[in-house]
Structure 1
């Protein structure tokens, strides 16, 4: 359940980044590329902190947490890149 909450949170953060850039970009051509990069960087930090909590606090090993990290980071990040590539 926690994994699903984080993945949904990633999509919400992605929508917030893209929405903020749409409102504030004033027609800059590279604004959506910048939003995608900013989102990916922020989301990487959030996913990495979640992995650290799993290893340091919950007692999981890095090998157990790595697939979850890749899922939590990967789904929203790939969706952001595809959205930027196909739509914007």
Structure 2
């Protein structure tokens, strides 16, 4: 359940980035730039989520790595789609 909530938060965060891209640039290039800016920010958030899982929840890095990949890739794939669509 936690994984789904984090992925949902990533999708919402991508929506916020795209909204600000639309408000500031109002063209397709601004949306693509906003999606490009989202990816490294989301990587940091996903790594922090992994760190919390390892340090506070008691999971090992080996247990958390597949979750990190899933949590990062789903919103990042949506951002890649937005970049491709608006390029």
Indicate whether the TM-score tops 0.5: yes
Gaps of 5+ in 2: none
1:41-62 CA-to-partner distances (Å, cap 9, x unmatched) read 1111110000000111111111
1:12-70 CA-to-partner distances (Å, cap 9, x unmatched) read 0001100111011154x632232122111111111000000011111111110000001
| Residue 71 (structure 2) aligns with | 72
Moved beyond 6 Å, runs of 4+:
none
Q: Give the TM-score, by structure 1 length.
A: 0.89
Q: Give the TM-score, by structure 2 length.
A: 0.90
The 5 Å alignment of 1:1-88 reads: 1-27=1-27, 30-86=29-85, 88=86
Gaps of 5+ in 1: none
